[in-house]
Structure formats: C-alpha cells, structure tokens
Structure 1
Amino acid sequence: MTRIRRGLAMVWLLALCLLPVSGCAADGAGIRPADRPPGIAVASAHTLATQAGIDTLHAGGNAFDAAIAVSATLSVVEPISSGLGGGGFFLLHDAASGRDVFVDARETAPAAATPARYLDADGAFDRDRAENGPWAAGIPGLPAAFVHLAERYGALPLAQSLAPAIRAARDGFPAYERMVRGYERRREVMERYPGTREVFLASGRPLQVGDTFRQPDLARTLERLAAEGFDGFYRGETGRLLLAGVHAEGGEWTADELAGYRVVEREPIRFGYRGWEIVTAPPPSSGGVALAQMLQILAPWELDTLEPAMRAHLTIESMRRAFRDRTFYLGDPDFVEIPLRTLTSRDYAAGLRATIHPSRATPSDLLSGEPTPLEDEETTHFSIIDEQGNRVAGTQTVNLLYGSGLIPPGTGVLLNNEMDDFALKPGTPNAFGVMGFDANAPAPGKRMLSSMTPTFMVSPERVAVLGTPGGSRIITMVLLGILGYDAGLDAQAVAALPRFHHQWMPDVVSAERGMFDAGTAERLEAMGHALNLPPDDAADGRGSSHVWGNLQTVMWNRADGTLEGGSDPRNDVGAAVVDSNVPR
C-alpha cells in the first residue's frame, strides 16, 4: 500500500533537547547491509516531484534515475528554491558495491568575477551586484549532474528520467502560496529583466495562488538536454541563449567556461557517533566537517541525564565552535589546502570540548549584533531509498529566493546568485550573515563554499537519509535531525522537530516558536546566551521567523523490515511516499 504524509499542519513536538538520547555504543565501523528494503520511499518538497520519483522507480529505474526525475521536477515546480540555473550535491549509496560517493555539482566562478567587480566606486561592497543579475550567477552545475547520474549510475535513458519535468514545465502546475509570497519579495529585481518578465508576467500580472504556471521555454530547454545530453545545455542552442542573455545584461560569461563545466566526484566524510556511521558532505560543503565536529564534541555527554537548558547550552557551544572553523578553514578543496583530517578528528573535537564552560556561554569574537538572516524557502532537498537498497540524499539550490532573478530570454532558466556565497570581500558577511576569508575567495572555476549537507545515518538496525534547505541553518537542522533519530524518533517526527541555531557570528541563538519554554530561555540567558526568539515567545517583541527549513527524510528499519518517510509539515506542498508494491 502507498502511504502519503503531507506537511498539512505543524506538529510541535518536545524540543530536541528534552528528548532522551540512546546510550553510548561502539562507533559504526564494519556495518554490513541487511536484507533489501521492503519497497521504495521518496520524500521531497513537492508532491509532483515525489510522484515523479515513485513513477520512475515503478518504470524500472533505480534510486539514481529517480533522483534525476525528482531533482529535475523540483527544478520546474520550485523555481523559488532550485532550478537548472543552479547547482547541488548528491550523496549516493550503491547497494551492489557498498560504495558511497558524493557528486559535486556546485556552481563555479566565471573568470571575470574577481573580487574587485563587487566593489562600488568608493570601494564599498556592492551587495546588489553580488545578489542580483548576471554578476551574481555562477556557471550552473545541475544539468551536468543529471547527465552524470544517468551515464554512470542510472538504469534508464536520461530522456525517460527527465520526462516528468518536461511535462510539468509544458503543461504547468498550480502556483502555491510560497511561490507567490516569494515573488512579491523579489518582484522589483525579477521585473528588471525581459526574460524573467516574459515567464512570470505571461498573463499580464504576477502569479496568484491557484494559477496554472506554464514554462514552455524551460520545457524546450529540458527537451534539448534530454536529446543531446551535456551539449544540449552547455553548448548548442541553449548555450547560445544563455550567453546572449547574460551578455545583454552586462555579464561576461564565456562559451569556453560554460562548456568547460564538469561534475566532480568526491569521497564523503564519514565518522562514528554513538553506534551510527554518519556519511555526509565533504568540502566544498561545510556541512560534513561541522557535523563531525559538533557530534564528536557532544558524544561523551549523556544528554538525557541533563536538564533542558544544559543540553541546549552544550549543543549551542558545539555549533559555535564548528562555525568558527567554517569561517577560517573551509573552501573549494581543489583550490585551497584544508586540514580535513584534523578538523574531523576525535582528538580535535576533544580539544574543542575542553574549552566549553559547563555553565557559561563562550563569547564569540567580533560580535556584529545583527540577528541571523532568514532563509525559509530557498534551496530544496529530497531523500530516496529503492528496493535494492540504493539511496540518494540530494540538496540543490539557486541560493536566495528566485536566485539572481535573471532568466536569459528563450531559456526559461532562472540563474542562481551563488557568487554571494564566496567571500567577495574578506570579513564581510554574506546574505546569511556568515563570512569568510582567503579560503573562500573567488577564482576562475572555483566552487563557492556551501552549507548543503545531504547525509546518511547507518546502524545495524536503521538506515536514514536526510537533508534540508535553510542557508547556514542547514547544518544545525541536520544535526538536530541526527539527534532526533538517535533518540528513537520516527521519520515524520524528525521532519517536524522544532529548531534552534548558532553560527558563531553573530553571537546570538535563534529559535523557532515553541523551541524553548520560559524557564529554559531564562536559564540560557543567565548563562550568557543572547536569544533571538519569535515575537510571541519574547516579552520585548524580539524575534526571528517562527519556522524555518524544509527537511525531507526517509528511513529503513532493518530490524523490523519497514520503511518510513517524513516530509516537513512547515511546507504544505511536500510529500513522503512509501510504497511496497514494487516489482522484484
């Protein structure tokens, strides 16, 4: 039978800090797969994308074909979050070989995009150029990832896996509230560009909820990709149209760097945590390194024996230290030397742990005093397990809401604004309030640092696949999801967990509504933590967004032979589907 769980209502659970944590066990080395899963499970941020994955699996595809179908469909139905003009990370597990691989389809910097191009006449940082229009966009990586996955890992032709996305673009789908709200927030930028106006003002007015949103140019772009593979996007008619649109707005992409884009396969980061093997994203993601630090800092504590404020305090302090190292050490490993072994080692985590005061917050240096910028709708994630035991965690993005706002005419491709994820001016925070220095400075062909953190959790009893959007908060949401699974929660409960976040700078703890009760908040403030709570949780009206993120997860319980899916209830168009009626 098929079970669909939709995010139709917020399920507020006990804060993660209040949950018991299972007792310590040996690290997850030497874990061996059990029997095959009893069916298939797909969770994504849109029902059409989830169904595309299920249909592809029923048509004889594997999890990697389904990943193409889900990712491409999300690129059509979630232009607010991702698209062919962006990039992503795909964490794969091949059941036949037992191999895990990280497919890096992150965007790359055009040669012309030097730091000087992002300064105004007075030498000040030009945020508009960094976030909007052609100079904000890196060379897209997502189309190349589809070709790579199909050629190396898939069982179906690329055209078959892309067919659901082509239909969605050609026939349209109902516009939903998140899309409409996001357009209103970005309307001034998007309506600067003729190609974008042609798509989003096709009816002569902005989209309204329930309107059928059709993208015929995007359908044709997908058809060329399906028919011609890599050259169907990076060369030929689509390549020509992309270059013409960028140049018309003053950008300086070249045909050689567009055609020269390449997907990179990397070895995932893996480490043990309380009986789990965690397999996660390596640089240019910062997420895996941060997870290794945070979880290994926390591992020795029996968190279930501590009162709630102390549990939160220790978790916050682990976040603070991981984000400090993110700022100074991490970047594209093909361009900078990263002390990866040190940063992810138990000994290093033990040293960081020793600096945590048991009852006092550690002040962060160079306080900015600004609240953490929000990101609710940008980026998207999907999780897949197939009946063979293959699995995919995929996270993809165009960065901010609707990316750069620029659609080169005739393509339907909304370009990313990932250049803002570089340290374009050293020490200057980006749109998410995180900053960097030389390790993350732009260079021709270099990949900007990311927070996207697709992750596997593997134990003898359970296998979980999870990830989320959320800007810099992605990392801490995945952390809390891991702790939730370790505490014994099911997939839907993990997707619904309330969340909190600290990123070293600014020195403030942000939290969703209902995360901390009044007593816990008072204890944390007494320890020296500055809290940024939603307005109805804070007497003085301080506040951040009441919700954030859009976690999508699936879990195979090997002990009892069941599958589960969890789709974040904060998102009213997402779906997790578990289906046992799969041909064997």
Structure 2
Amino acid sequence: MKSRKRLAGFLFACTVALLPATALALSPQTRPVSASLAAHPPGAAIASGHHLATDAGLQVLAEGGNAFDAAVAVSSTLSVVEPISSGLGGGGLFLLHDARSGKDVMLDAREYAPESATPEQFLDKKGELDRDRSMNGPWSAGIPGLPAALVELAGKYGRLPLRQSLAPAIRIAREGFPVYARMAKGYASRREIMDRYPGTREVYLRNGKPIAEGDIFRQPELAHTLELLAAEGFDGFYRGETARKLIKGVNQAGGRWTARELAAYQVKQRTPISLDYRGWKVTTAPPPSSGGIALAEMLQILEPWNLQELDEAHRIHLVTEAMRRAYRDRTFFLGDPDFVEIPQKVLTSRDYAQGLRATIHPDKATPSDLLSGKPTPLEDDETTHFSIIDAEGNRVGGTQTVNLLYGSGLIPPGTGVLLNDEMDDFALKPGTPNAFGVMGYEANAPKPGKRMLSSMTPTFMESPDKVVVLGTPGGSRIITMVLLGVLGYDAGLSAQQVAALPRYHHQWLPDAISAESGAFSPEVAKTLEAMGHEVDLPGDEAAGGRGSSHVWGNLQTVAWDRASDVLSAGSDPRNPVGGAKVVIAADPPKP
C-alpha cells in the first residue's frame, strides 16, 4: 500500500514540477448551442459488426423493446455469427445511458481468473512464459462473463423477457448463416489448435471437412445453451446442465475449473470516466478497462492544440506523442480496481495532462525508455463492438471479445460455447509482452477472481446539440482508434466518415508508429522519420514497406444531431458483413 501511495505521490510531484513549462491556453473550445433542439431521437440507430445482429436488434425494438433489450439481441447474435471475435464463452464491457434518469453506468462483464490460475502455471521449465498455455486451450480461458451481462441487461434495464430478446440468436444458431471470408480465413489460421479438441472438431468439421466460405454454419448445441439461458437466466449457464458440461470439458482437456467459481461470477457496475474535451462531454470505460484512463490522458494532452490547423505530419506527431505517454502509464499503473489501487484521479486530471504535454517537443519525437519489444501483431479480427440509440434516447455502447482469433480454440463438448483465451491479457510474466505486444507488471498480475486488464473502450460523446456512441475491436489498438474517432467527430466528420478514418498507433513499446494500409503518404512518413519517429509502413517490403497490408479494427458508431433531429450510423467499410441502420419511428416519444 505504501508503495502505491509513493507512486501516486510521484505522479503529483512530476505534475507540479512540469506546470511552469507550458504556456498553452487551457480553456476548452466553446461550441455553439442551437436555438431549437429535439428532445428525443426520431427513431433508432444500430451499428454492429454483422448485419444479422443489427437486424436482430431492430426486430426487438419493433417488438416494443428499448435499447437495452436490443443490446441483448445484438450481443447474443454477434456471439452466434462472429465466433471469430466474441461469444458466450467470453466477456465484454457495456456502457449504458438511461434517458429517463440521465445516468450513465458501465456493466463490467470481464472474465476473471480461475482459482487455479497463478503466474507459475504459465511458465515453462526454464521460467519463460509458455505462450501455448497462455493463448490456447483450457488454461488460457478465464471464467466467462457475457451470459451474466445478457441476464443483467434484460433484468435490470430492458422491458422484454430475456427469452424474447434471445430469440433471434437462438433461431440463427439453429437454422444457420452463411460463412463469410473473414470467418473461414480465421479458422484456417487457427485450425491446428482447434483440431486438438473433440468438441471443437464436432462444430467446425463437417464430414471431416473444415468450414468454407458460403457454407451454412449451424450450431444446434449453442442454440440449446442459449435456450437454457433464456429459460433459466443466470442458472441456465452458470449452474445446472451447461455448467456441468463446461467444467467437464475444461477439466478433461487438462484445465481446473470448479462449480463454485463458475456459480460465483458477478457482473460489476462501474462508474464511467467522464471528462470535457473542447466542448464535448466524453463518457468512457473505467478500469478494468485501460481505455478510459488512456483516452482521458490523450485527449487532455491534445486539447489546447487546434489540430485541424496543423499540417498532417505535425498533427500525427502530436497525437503519437500523446499515445506514447498514455500507454506508458497503462503499463505500470492499471489493473483490476478490486485488487489494486489505481491513481485514477491523478492520471485523468488536467494538471497531470498539462505536465505530460510540457514534455512534448513540437518537432521532435520523444524516444521511449527501456528496450524495444517485438512488433505488435495485427488484431483486427478479434473482439467486436456495437452502438445503439433508441427513440427514447437510451444508449448502449457494447464491446465484447474472446480475445484472439476463436479464443482458446476449445469448445467443451455439448455446449457449442467457444471459450476465451483472456488469461493472456494478464501480465503472466512481469515485463514480458503479451500477444498484442503490451507489457504489464504487478498491477495486472493474475490472482484468483481477478479481472484481466482490457483495452475495450465503448464511449459516448455529447455536445450541446449532438450525441454519439462509438467503439471498435482491435486489441491494444482499440484505444487509439477510439481516440481518432473522437478527434474525427470533433473535426466535423459524419458517422460514416469516422468509421472509415485511416488508423495509426503508438503504444510506448515497441517504439514505433504503426499504420494500416493507406494511412500515411510516403511524404508524411518521411517527415515523421525526420522528426525522429520510427514508422512501420504497411505493404510489400520490396516496395519499402515493413509490415502487413492488413487493415485494422471494425469501428461501429451512431450519432444523433439534435439540431436537425437526424440520426445517422456508420459501419466500418473494412468489414463487408457489418450493418448500420437507422429506422425512423412512426410515433416518436413525446417529451
């Protein structure tokens, strides 16, 4: 405890020492307020990573549900149609706004470590991190949280019975849907791991043949699991038939789960992080997400600069320097708030941001300390996000995941539930990068019942006349993609333009700016390198590129312009099966 207090004191001391070094004006931009503002949206808008999930949410709204019922429908349907990204065997963070009370809350349905999960269990005989154990199979899986979140959403916030909101997912799991290219490609890359487990082979191999694009993919066992959840609520997953099958499957594969720890799972209600940025109220995810604190740091570092007046290279330089500093703090200070003391007030304060800003040279890169790690793998296919606004003004930003492609690869027989591999998000060996290249120390070390640090960053933005919901998958790059989305809305872009923005990223270590295809012109890259940045250009190495040509993320966003009373939705064009739809209500609610 004393060491944590010393760390917080050190942060304060650094802030005070740096305050005189900056002379930038700190007053936020004043945004004009329209004379006439609509009290309620004219309908509903949903954006998600798959059009079937978007349609499921709209169906539940048409049946009398609200945004929270729609969230159950969208989330559960994504769990069926995007097994590459999320599922009942994973977890998520759900940012909620209740229009009637005006309150915001985050439902923390993050997975947590089983009782058997100690750091020693993830080391090989030489004391090095056993990456196969941390990323594949039963030891890589945390206790799932998503089913409990669906029960919580329906029971405490929705107005329809759970069985009605789960009905679209159950139907699609039983009847099937066409396999799309990303799903088939992801399976091919993970097949060697997934073929280890009989329950997984039963689902993904039909007559000995792997799934292929265009196949109708049916999951009757997952449909049955969803039906038990619909009929029995929490007990339908965490106790009884499904729980017995999960425990048996994990333990037969070599893991150690118990009925007691499965039944003890609880969704946590967390107070969101809220800050002002240039006239916007930004509401975002608190720990165990690292996203909200990092986003608050970056935005408050950048706030005094009018980024739109800068040339592209200098704008990217300043944004990158803000990213670098936030990810450094992420590494050392953030973890599960139920287990570690996080200096959140310091890290999210304007004074601290001002001190960090004073260390940024306007024309030169700041080298990251310590040794560089390996290049960060691309992770566009993992995790998924959806954004919802309903006709009453309720909002949901939901980000959910099983971590890496197809999670652990393990489906306990008879469940259809593909388990996560979120244990890799812990600092299993202090100072050793995980699959996304990010490091951690004691604050994010595994302990029984502890939730691993996340990058999921569902976010709301509100100006006097506009309301926005946005979020994205992308592993450690989630936070920086959301940052670029916030900056895009502040620059006046539309929802679809924000979803399509080029993306770049810096996470302190490795000390390099990475970028997706087309994000930088060669001229901008050269200018950044002249400032001292290492720039990882995507594309063919023979053409000067140093990395993958993959694109990143799958940003989903909805917006309501209260001045014009227009709803809009943006679905990432990088994902051809995504869906963003606006439905105008026949009789919008009256104020």
* TM-score (normalised: structure 2): 0.93
Find the counterpart in structure 2 of residue 352 from structure 1.
Answer: 356
For residues 558 and 344 of structure 1, the distance between their equivalents in structure 2, rounded to whole angstroms, comes to 29
Query: More deviation in 574-583 or 245-254?
Result: 574-583
Task: Confirm or deny that 1:313 pairs with 2:326.
Answer: no
For residues 58 and 89 of structure 2, the distance between their equivalents in structure 1, rounded to whole angstroms, comes to 25
Query: Partner of 1:472: helix, strand, or coil?
Result: helix
For residues 524 and 56 of structure 2, the distance between their equivalents in structure 1, rounded to whole angstroms, comes to 44
For residues 185 and 370 of structure 2, the distance between their equivalents in structure 1, rounded to whole angstroms, comes to 35
Query: Partner of 2:450: helix, strand, or coil?
Result: coil
Q: Which residue among 459, 465, 471 is the counterpart of 2:469? A: 465
Task: Confirm or deny that 1:129 pairs with 2:129.
Answer: no
For residues 256 and 486 of structure 1, the distance between their equivalents in structure 2, rounded to whole angstroms, comes to 48
What displacement does 1:261 show? 0.2
Q: Which residue among 280, 294, 301 is the counterpart of 1:290? A: 294
Q: Is the Cα contact below 8 Å between 2:422 and 2:452 reproduced in 1?
A: yes
Q: Is the Cα contact below 8 Å between 2:403 and 2:422 reproduced in 1?
A: yes
Task: Confirm or deny that 1:392 pairs with 2:390.
Answer: no
Query: Partner of 1:577: helix, strand, or coil?
Result: strand
Q: How does 1:148-167 map to 2 (within 5 A)?
A: 148-167=152-171
What displacement does 1:189 show? 0.2
Q: How does 1:442-453 map to 2 (within 5 A)?
A: 442-453=446-457
Query: Partner of 1:521: helix, strand, or coil?
Result: helix
Find the counterpart in structure 2 of residue 9 from structure 1.
Answer: none
Q: How does 1:69-148 map to 2 (within 5 A)?
A: 69-148=73-152
Find the counterpart in structure 2 of residue 280 from structure 1.
Answer: 284
Query: Partner of 2:86: helix, strand, or coil?
Result: coil
Find the counterpart in structure 2 of residue 61 from structure 1.
Answer: 65
Query: Partner of 1:139: helix, strand, or coil?
Result: coil
Q: Is the Cα contact below 8 Å between 2:373 and 2:437 reproduced in 1?
A: no
Query: Partner of 1:504: helix, strand, or coil?
Result: coil
Task: Confirm or deny that 1:257 pairs with 2:261.
Answer: yes
Q: Which residue among 200, 203, 227 is the counterpart of 1:199? A: 203
Task: Confirm or deny that 1:441 pairs with 2:442.
Answer: no
Find the counterpart in structure 2 of residue 508 from structure 1.
Answer: 512
For residues 91 and 312 of structure 1, the distance between their equivalents in structure 2, rounded to whole angstroms, comes to 29
For residues 126 and 203 of structure 1, the distance between their equivalents in structure 2, rounded to whole angstroms, comes to 34
Find the counterpart in structure 2 of residue 10 from structure 1.
Answer: none
Q: Is the Cα contact below 8 Å between 1:58 and 1:582 reproduced in 2?
A: no
What displacement does 1:371 show? 1.8
Q: Is the Cα contact below 8 Å between 1:387 and 1:582 reproduced in 2?
A: no
For residues 228 and 181 of structure 2, the distance between their equivalents in structure 1, rounded to whole angstroms, comes to 31
For residues 316 and 122 of structure 1, the distance between their equivalents in structure 2, rounded to whole angstroms, comes to 37
Q: Which residue among 244, 251, 256 is the counterpart of 2:248? A: 244
- Summarize the Cα distance change of 1:430–1:462 in structure 2 as closer, same or farther, 3 Å threshold: same
What displacement does 1:375 show? 0.1
Instruction: Kindly provide the amino acid, as one letter, of the partner of residue 441 in structure 2.
Output: F
Find the counterpart in structure 2 of residue 366 from structure 1.
Answer: 370
Task: Confirm or deny that 1:225 pairs with 2:237.
Answer: no
Task: Confirm or deny that 1:168 pairs with 2:168.
Answer: no
- Summarize the Cα distance change of 1:537–1:547 in structure 2 as closer, same or farther, 3 Å threshold: farther
- Summarize the Cα distance change of 1:338–1:582 in structure 2 as closer, same or farther, 3 Å threshold: farther
Query: Partner of 1:41: helix, strand, or coil?
Result: strand
- Summarize the Cα distance change of 1:524–1:70 in structure 2 as closer, same or farther, 3 Å threshold: same
For residues 536 and 373 of structure 1, the distance between their equivalents in structure 2, rounded to whole angstroms, comes to 16
Find the counterpart in structure 1 of residue 331 from structure 2.
Answer: 327
What displacement does 1:540 show? 2.7
Q: Is the Cα contact below 8 Å between 1:94 and 1:100 reproduced in 2?
A: yes
Find the counterpart in structure 1 of residue 15 from structure 2.
Answer: none
For residues 523 and 204 of structure 2, the distance between their equivalents in structure 1, rounded to whole angstroms, comes to 48
Q: Is the Cα contact below 8 Å between 2:68 and 2:157 reproduced in 1?
A: yes
Unaligned 5+ segments in structure 1 are: 1-22
Q: Is the Cα contact below 8 Å between 1:532 and 1:544 reproduced in 2?
A: no
Query: Partner of 1:387: helix, strand, or coil?
Result: coil
Find the counterpart in structure 1 of residue 347 from structure 2.
Answer: 343
Query: More deviation in 257-266 or 354-363?
Result: 354-363
For residues 207 and 165 of structure 1, the distance between their equivalents in structure 2, rounded to whole angstroms, comes to 20
For residues 351 and 33 of structure 1, the distance between their equivalents in structure 2, rounded to whole angstroms, comes to 38
For residues 267 and 538 of structure 1, the distance between their equivalents in structure 2, rounded to whole angstroms, comes to 50
* TM-score (normalised: structure 1): 0.94
For residues 153 and 537 of structure 1, the distance between their equivalents in structure 2, rounded to whole angstroms, comes to 52
Find the counterpart in structure 2 of residue 16 from structure 1.
Answer: none
What displacement does 1:581 show? 3.5
Say which structure, 1 or 2, has more relative contact order (CA 8 Å, 6+ apart): 1
For residues 322 and 541 of structure 2, the distance between their equivalents in structure 1, rounded to whole angstroms, comes to 24
Q: Is the Cα contact below 8 Å between 1:474 and 1:549 reproduced in 2?
A: yes
For residues 163 and 586 of structure 2, the distance between their equivalents in structure 1, rounded to whole angstroms, comes to 22
What displacement does 1:79 show? 0.2
Find the counterpart in structure 2 of residue 5 from structure 1.
Answer: none
Query: Partner of 1:56: helix, strand, or coil?
Result: helix
Q: Is the Cα contact below 8 Å between 1:45 and 1:575 reproduced in 2?
A: yes
Instruction: Kindly provide the amino acid, as one letter, of the partner of residue 485 in structure 2.
Output: G
Find the counterpart in structure 1 of residue 572 from structure 2.
Answer: 568
What displacement does 1:202 show? 2.6
Find the counterpart in structure 2 of residue 20 from structure 1.
Answer: none
Name the % identity: 72
Q: Is the Cα contact below 8 Å between 1:513 and 1:537 reproduced in 2?
A: no
Instruction: Kindly provide the amino acid, as one letter, of the partner of residue 526 in structure 1.
Output: A
What displacement does 1:329 show? 0.2
What displacement does 1:417 show? 0.1
RMSD between aligned alpha carbons?
Answer: 1.5
Find the counterpart in structure 2 of residue 14 from structure 1.
Answer: none
Q: Is the Cα contact below 8 Å between 2:537 and 2:544 reproduced in 1?
A: no
Task: Confirm or deny that 1:300 pairs with 2:291.
Answer: no
What displacement does 1:367 show? 3.0
For residues 157 and 531 of structure 1, the distance between their equivalents in structure 2, rounded to whole angstroms, comes to 51
What displacement does 1:179 show? 0.5
Measured against aligned partners, the alpha-carbon deviations of 1:514-560 in whole angstroms (never above 9, x if no partner) come to 21112211110001100111125984331234311000000000110
For residues 176 and 583 of structure 1, the distance between their equivalents in structure 2, rounded to whole angstroms, comes to 37
Q: Is the Cα contact below 8 Å between 1:495 and 1:553 reproduced in 2?
A: yes
